[in-house]
Structure 1
Amino acid sequence: MASTSQSEAIKGAKVLMVGAGGIGCELLKTLALSGFQDIHIIDMDTIEVSNLNRQFLFRQSHVGQSKAKVAREAVLKFRPHINITAYHANVKDPKFNVEFFQKFNVVLNGLDNLDARRHVNRLCLAAEVPLVESGTTGFLGQVTVHVKGQTECYECQPKPTPKTYPVCTITSTPSKFVHCIVWAKDLLFAKLFGDKNQDNDLNVRRSSNDSEEGNGSSDASKDVFERSPHESPDQYARKIYDHVFGSNIKAALSNEETWKNRKRPRPIYVSDVLPEEERNGGVHSEDGMGLIPSAMGSLGLKNPQDIWNLSENTRVFLEAVKLFFEKREKEIGNLTFDKDDQLAVEFVTAAANIRASSFGIPLQSLFEAKGIAGNIVHAVATTNAIIAGLIVIEAIKVLSGDSKNYRMTYCLEHPNRKMMLMPVEPFEANPSCYVCSETPLLLEVNTATTKLRDVIEKVVKSKLGMNLPLVMLGSTLIYEEGDDLDADMLATYANNLDKALTELPTPVTNGTTLSVEDLRQELTCNINIKHRDEFDEEKEPDGMVLTGWSGPTTKPEKSNPSSNGESSSAAGAKRKLEEISDLNGKNKGIAQEVEVDVVDDDVSVLNEFPTINKKTRVQ
């Protein structure tokens, strides 16, 4: 039972929840039943059928509606006298700035991606508001407390490096289904429906076979992925199919050296798979999914756990391409793969399966393909409930000022010393953390050849997670992004992007220090520049090396000399992270999960989705 002081703290608290998914539903319910009176929720997602098995505030009738708003309505039915404010929005929207965060006594995260988590961490640091982080994956879960000046921040420790595959494996010699998924998602989908100006390693050569087997022109200089004005969506879909699954595979087979020790793939053309009436006229069927374009709905395929045969995959592929052009043409050119985009998942599943069939790789269901493409680890509802309860416990400690009893708690799959929950004292801030300790970073780069654009995209945005960066050299502003810039400034900054660092109006050279800032996050860090002439293409494919941004690989020890980080006592004792994995290997991998982040199954386990490693390129 809560003490009087705790009860007063709970009733007087203004709480911000970010995320209303698997953890969020349980958390909102638990907050309401624990006596919290003023709760605000931010979530940009809408409810899907696949959410209903564990997000118990939602029902079938709610599919397609805002998670945040429906969760609010559901809880108000049994706690009608409390205040719940729901925002169907992205937490990175400008309106959720530092001033907004300062209104709250504590922020509780139930997020599903690294980028949003880093953003909230920085806003909490700037607003000086405590943050309680959380995540689950299957039976595993964790809750961590981050309070400025008292504990480490969310970014004090490095996150795991994404699994990568050489681009030649993805484009030429796939041997696993995941290779086919990466190809379909990051190359083919991006090439057809994404930004046409982005580099793409998908083979876009037109071979002479395109005119013979497919429906394309014999003009070898024309990009086969460009849709001619006279081409119908059906014709275009079949042309793409014949090119990527037929002509490209046939061309690849001409390199005998590649296939000396590998199984040779087989080219697949539409004419090999579908009867003549379908090849000539496309698939004629009604859209069975109402307002949501769906190839499955159009073709009468209902069970996402069925494994489609080659003919069914071909029909889904052709229908998906057609639907994108007929129903979503305005989006083409700006699309990126989203696991919650049904048509995108159908396209990627079909494309991956056709490619897998060509290379003799076992086919998978849409359910499995979506899990791989979206990096989904399916949740256990009980774990979500446990983690939500732990979040509330830590939130109450934060609101009561009970800092001595803050705990990072890990939910284990197998008992460790007869314990399923492993509490660990929070660690102190990492003195090397560029986010909360303002330690300068070091960037080794060839200043004479590297463009400012590369530094902005590969370092400032990708590695440092800044959304609207401002870059200064001394008192000179050399780059800025924002909504309030005039045309002349935008032109100047755009011109700077394509200049080498030494060619900028104020040259960036060896020994220069750049100041990089994100005004929305109120984060500033300094980057010391060190010129280097050459880089190892295998080990340093970006042509630059940033040090200091990921921090050390082990947690810093507490300063208390009487503790060595080990204890055999139960709850509340500090332990080394390695102790979380028992000696028998039953909890193998748990120590690693403690080091990183696990997330609710609505999306991916952070940084686990395999990406293309461009160290090795196909010419």
Structure 2
Amino acid sequence: MGSEQQLEVIKSAKVLMVGAGGIGCELLKTLALSGFQDIHIIDMDTIEVSNLNRQFLFRQSHVGQSKAKVAREAVLRFRPNINITPYHANVKGPEFNVDFFKQFNVVLNGLDNLDARRHVNRLCLAADVPLVESGTTGFLGQVTVHVKGKTECYECQPKPTPKSYPVCTITSTPSKFVHCIVWAKDLLFAKLFGDKSQGNDLNVRSSDGASSSENAEDAFERRADEDVEQYGRRIYDHVFGYNIEMALGNEETWKNRNRPKPIYSCDVLPENLSYQNGTLEKDCPNGDSSLVSAMASLGLKNPQDIWSLLENTRIFLEALKLFFVKREKDIGNLIFDKDDQLAVEIVTAAANIRAASFGIPLHSLFEAKGIAGNIVHAVATTNAIIAGLIVIEAIKVLHGDTNRYRMTYCVEHPARKMLLMPVEPFEPNKACYVCSETPLTLEVNTSRSKLRDIVEKIVKNKLGMNLPLIMHGSALLYEVGDDLEEVEVANYEANLEKVLAELPSPVTGGTVLTVEDLQQEFTCSINIKHREEFDEEKEPDGMLLSGWTQPPTTEKDNDPTLANKESTSSAAQTAVVEVDEVEIVLPSVRVDIGGAKRKLSDISSAATSAATGVVDATHSSRKPEEIEDDDNDVVVMIDGGNLGANKKKRVQ
């Protein structure tokens, strides 16, 4: 094909971009400069200040505006004659169905959310439209090509389960700084400034030590005769002193653990030193409450310094005071936000004080913010490189150059002095439940678990279905949709509260369920296996899904020194990187070196190799449906509840 013909193919192509964040900005610019004339962008995010250091189509004046729309305007300034159609919307919305996807020649993903990526993968399979996937995290990245029937789909290799921690570890026996961050963010901050009606282990303690009784006093209620300073000290003494003393009363807990040390404010900060260097005289510039800062009030300037216990104590008390004096109207409705300076300060200080109590090393605000916000700091150059590779593969797809498709991985490889590692795509995996329709197996106690458990924990969370329909033979057990009659809705809602064995068409061991998502035009079968008991620590859902899904992560799986290096099947090896004690799993990394598969971390010692991998990220600071595309810098879920990304953050 001549160069003029090639250019004509590019000009006539209709391209769908999903995501206008870190990768998306670079991708849109590169598409426009490469000659593409008809580009559609879906992104439901708005521009944040933290985006501006790498999403170069945006400026300070754009903060709060639609990413898709502003990206379009920015590119049209230097390519005014091309057609760019923005959609400020959720890619999982009903308007973006299979028919919508069929109008495009290729789909290009720049997402930072596993749930949305799976959704787009299934729509592309149903519409028979090629998909070019991508992701970055720091200096790592990948671009993969997925063509129905010719290459593996995005879900042909299992993705690791987001890291989660047992509640008892968070509330009672922390051993890592991340445990202290989760405690400070999801328990203490939520109780102080969020919904007052919620209950947690910090909630109620009576004067005699009883917990959660009718007559118990709520320690977090500010008394009528208390000023802010008195309230702050009482809260400090309650959570870092009294509650620790109460925990120490259970001798069994500390037989094989280091005993924590109760910390009281008077031991760290004498009364006469309370706030002598603090000031509340400064107003918020432009009325922006997020600019209120305890660090500024106390003269602490460097966020990379590790504060002493005294400094953490002063920050905690000052931040609490600032919330009540400067942001009182927000209290009761606040949710932790990594871009809220005062929120990050009080969470950092609280986590450090708790860490000091349990003998855990303290961290700087910079480090704590990264853990609390699930951030691996993005590298603009990596995004630009990956965007260029996406366009190269998109052009090959448009030309039908099947033999030239490459999956390219951006990894450091000193031995070969190369950063980019291209490999040929793999064939579809016959065991894939998405593109090969292989049945799954669900172990569950059918006499205890309700249909709601199956819908929420398995069908929506693990299988990524948005509008599920569940059938047992010809019996319809559950369905959602706007076209249902009220009677039908009532019947399905009633079914949700029934245990599986008591449904109109009983679900017991040996039952085969058919699960469909009409929007995704995706169907899979689930074989039910009855099981009486589950390990609450390792199997918190009370059920276990197996087949082409990632098994629960174990300590051995997470330890790079213990990971299995042998090659016994085509299953993905797992590489683990630790960033500020938050484990970042790089899913589906498969490395072939002289016929033996090895971990990605071992590649650097090999003279020759061919590698494939997926560097994935899952956003956890927001819910999956809220994140379709962003800056690709949030990569792990640390508490399993939301961390996410369930934000599940927000992994690219």
Question: In the superposition, relative to structure 1, how do residues 362 and 143 fare at CA in structure 2: closer, same or farther (>3 Å)?
Answer: same
2:248 alignment counterpart: 253
Deviations 1:113-160 (A, max 9, x none): 211111211222222221111111222111001111111111110112
Question: In the superposition, relative to structure 1, how do residues 493 and 197 fare at CA in structure 2: closer, same or farther (>3 Å)?
Answer: farther
Deviations 1:541-590 (A, max 9, x none): 43222111417996479xxxxxxx9699xxxxxx9764865555499xx9
1:109 alignment counterpart: 109
Question: In the superposition, relative to structure 1, how do residues 542 and 598 fare at CA in structure 2: closer, same or farther (>3 Å)?
Answer: closer
Amino acid in structure 2 at the alignment position of 1:594 = G
Query: What is the Cα deviation at residue 24 of structure 1?
Result: 1.4
Deviates more, 1:430-439 or 1:470-479: 470-479
1:136 aligns with 2:136: yes
1:352 aligns with 2:351: yes
1:594 alignment counterpart: 613
Residues 375 and 635 in structure 2, CA contact (< 8 A), matched pair in contact too = no
**TM-score scaled by length of structure 2:** 0.78
Q: How does 1:381-400 map to 2 (within 5 A)?
A: 381-400=380-399
Report the RMSD for the aligned CA atoms in angstroms: 4.0
Deviates more, 1:422-431 or 1:266-275: 266-275
Separation (CA, whole Å) in 2 of partners of 1:321 and 1:114: 38
Amino acid in structure 2 at the alignment position of 1:126 = A
2:152 alignment counterpart: 152
Question: In the superposition, relative to structure 1, how do residues 350 and 41 fare at CA in structure 2: closer, same or farther (>3 Å)?
Answer: farther
1:266 alignment counterpart: 262
Query: What is the Cα deviation at residue 304 of structure 1?
Result: 4.5
Residues 374 and 604 in structure 1, CA contact (< 8 A), matched pair in contact too = no
2:373 alignment counterpart: 374
Residues 185 and 373 in structure 1, CA contact (< 8 A), matched pair in contact too = yes
Separation (CA, whole Å) in 2 of partners of 1:360 and 1:556: 39
Residues 158 and 551 in structure 1, CA contact (< 8 A), matched pair in contact too = yes
2:621 alignment counterpart: none
Separation (CA, whole Å) in 1 of partners of 2:506 and 2:217: 40
Separation (CA, whole Å) in 1 of partners of 2:603 and 2:268: 55
SS of residue matched to 2:545:
strand
Separation (CA, whole Å) in 2 of partners of 1:40 and 1:500: 45
1:453 alignment counterpart: 452
Query: What is the Cα deviation at residue 108 of structure 1?
Result: 0.9
Separation (CA, whole Å) in 2 of partners of 1:120 and 1:233: 50
Separation (CA, whole Å) in 2 of partners of 1:523 and 1:236: 55
SS of residue matched to 1:515:
strand
1:616 alignment counterpart: none
- % identical aligned pairs: 68
- Unpaired stretches in structure 2, ≥5 consecutive residues: 552-567, 573-590, 619-628, 643-652
Amino acid in structure 2 at the alignment position of 1:409 = T
Residues 206 and 216 in structure 2, CA contact (< 8 A), matched pair in contact too = no
SS of residue matched to 1:393:
helix
Residues 114 and 617 in structure 2, CA contact (< 8 A), matched pair in contact too = no
Separation (CA, whole Å) in 2 of partners of 1:491 and 1:321: 45
Residues 241 and 270 in structure 1, CA contact (< 8 A), matched pair in contact too = no
Residues 167 and 201 in structure 1, CA contact (< 8 A), matched pair in contact too = no
Query: What is the Cα deviation at residue 424 of structure 1?
Result: 0.9
1:326 alignment counterpart: 329
Separation (CA, whole Å) in 2 of partners of 1:194 and 1:518: 35
Residues 295 and 319 in structure 1, CA contact (< 8 A), matched pair in contact too = no
Separation (CA, whole Å) in 2 of partners of 1:318 and 1:554: 58
Separation (CA, whole Å) in 1 of partners of 2:606 and 2:178: 27
Amino acid in structure 2 at the alignment position of 1:156 = C
Separation (CA, whole Å) in 2 of partners of 1:342 and 1:520: 40
Separation (CA, whole Å) in 1 of partners of 2:483 and 2:220: 36
Amino acid in structure 1 at the alignment position of 2:60 = Q
Residues 449 and 500 in structure 2, CA contact (< 8 A), matched pair in contact too = yes
1:288 aligns with 2:269: no
Query: What is the Cα deviation at residue 297 of structure 1?
Result: 4.2
Residues 156 and 551 in structure 1, CA contact (< 8 A), matched pair in contact too = no
Residues 55 and 631 in structure 2, CA contact (< 8 A), matched pair in contact too = no
SS of residue matched to 2:148:
coil
Amino acid in structure 2 at the alignment position of 1:365 = S
Query: What is the Cα deviation at residue 520 of structure 1?
Result: 2.4
SS of residue matched to 1:527:
strand
Amino acid in structure 1 at the alignment position of 2:249 = S
Q: How does 1:468-507 map to 2 (within 5 A)?
A: 468-483=467-482, 485=484, 487-507=486-506
Amino acid in structure 1 at the alignment position of 2:247 = A
Amino acid in structure 1 at the alignment position of 2:420 = L
2:29 alignment counterpart: 29
1:440 aligns with 2:439: yes
SS of residue matched to 1:4:
helix
Separation (CA, whole Å) in 1 of partners of 2:241 and 2:437: 54
Deviations 1:246-296 (A, max 9, x none): 3322211223454465142223459965858989xx995666264553274
SS of residue matched to 2:319:
helix
Question: In the superposition, relative to structure 1, how do residues 270 and 21 fare at CA in structure 2: closer, same or farther (>3 Å)?
Answer: farther
Question: In the superposition, relative to structure 1, how do residues 472 and 195 fare at CA in structure 2: closer, same or farther (>3 Å)?
Answer: farther
Question: In the superposition, relative to structure 1, how do residues 119 and 606 fare at CA in structure 2: closer, same or farther (>3 Å)?
Answer: farther
Question: In the superposition, relative to structure 1, how do residues 514 and 566 fare at CA in structure 2: closer, same or farther (>3 Å)?
Answer: closer
Separation (CA, whole Å) in 1 of partners of 2:228 and 2:483: 40
Separation (CA, whole Å) in 1 of partners of 2:324 and 2:126: 45
Question: In the superposition, relative to structure 1, how do residues 606 and 126 fare at CA in structure 2: closer, same or farther (>3 Å)?
Answer: farther
Q: How does 1:551-570 map to 2 (within 5 A)?
A: 555=570
Deviates more, 1:218-227 or 1:507-516: 218-227
Amino acid in structure 2 at the alignment position of 1:326 = K
Question: In the superposition, relative to structure 1, how do residues 401 and 236 fare at CA in structure 2: closer, same or farther (>3 Å)?
Answer: farther
Q: How many residues end up aligned between the 2 structures?
A: 586
1:562 alignment counterpart: none
2:578 alignment counterpart: none
Deviations 1:412-468 (A, max 9, x none): 223453432111111111112111111221112111111112212221122111223
Separation (CA, whole Å) in 2 of partners of 1:227 and 1:19: 45
SS of residue matched to 2:470:
strand
SS of residue matched to 2:501:
helix
SS of residue matched to 1:294:
helix
Amino acid in structure 1 at the alignment position of 2:613 = V
Separation (CA, whole Å) in 2 of partners of 1:5 and 1:406: 19
Residues 6 and 400 in structure 1, CA contact (< 8 A), matched pair in contact too = yes
Query: What is the Cα deviation at residue 408 of structure 1?
Result: 0.3
Query: What is the Cα deviation at residue 608 of structure 1?
Result: 5.9
SS of residue matched to 1:143:
strand
Question: In the superposition, relative to structure 1, how do residues 399 and 509 fare at CA in structure 2: closer, same or farther (>3 Å)?
Answer: same
Separation (CA, whole Å) in 2 of partners of 1:230 and 1:503: 56
Residues 273 and 314 in structure 1, CA contact (< 8 A), matched pair in contact too = no
Amino acid in structure 2 at the alignment position of 1:377 = V
Separation (CA, whole Å) in 1 of partners of 2:383 and 2:606: 21
1:7 alignment counterpart: 7
SS of residue matched to 1:153:
coil
**TM-score scaled by length of structure 1:** 0.82
Deviates more, 1:260-269 or 1:418-427: 260-269
2:650 alignment counterpart: none
1:571 alignment counterpart: none
Deviations 1:305-335 (A, max 9, x none): 4555221133224544777761375x56xx5
Amino acid in structure 1 at the alignment position of 2:250 = N
Residues 238 and 318 in structure 1, CA contact (< 8 A), matched pair in contact too = no
Query: What is the Cα deviation at residue 355 of structure 1?
Result: 2.2
Separation (CA, whole Å) in 1 of partners of 2:225 and 2:44: 39
Question: In the superposition, relative to structure 1, how do residues 78 and 556 fare at CA in structure 2: closer, same or farther (>3 Å)?
Answer: same
1:167 alignment counterpart: 167
Separation (CA, whole Å) in 2 of partners of 1:287 and 1:274: 28
Question: In the superposition, relative to structure 1, how do residues 45 and 2 fare at CA in structure 2: closer, same or farther (>3 Å)?
Answer: farther
- Unpaired stretches in structure 1, ≥5 consecutive residues: 558-564, 569-574, 614-619
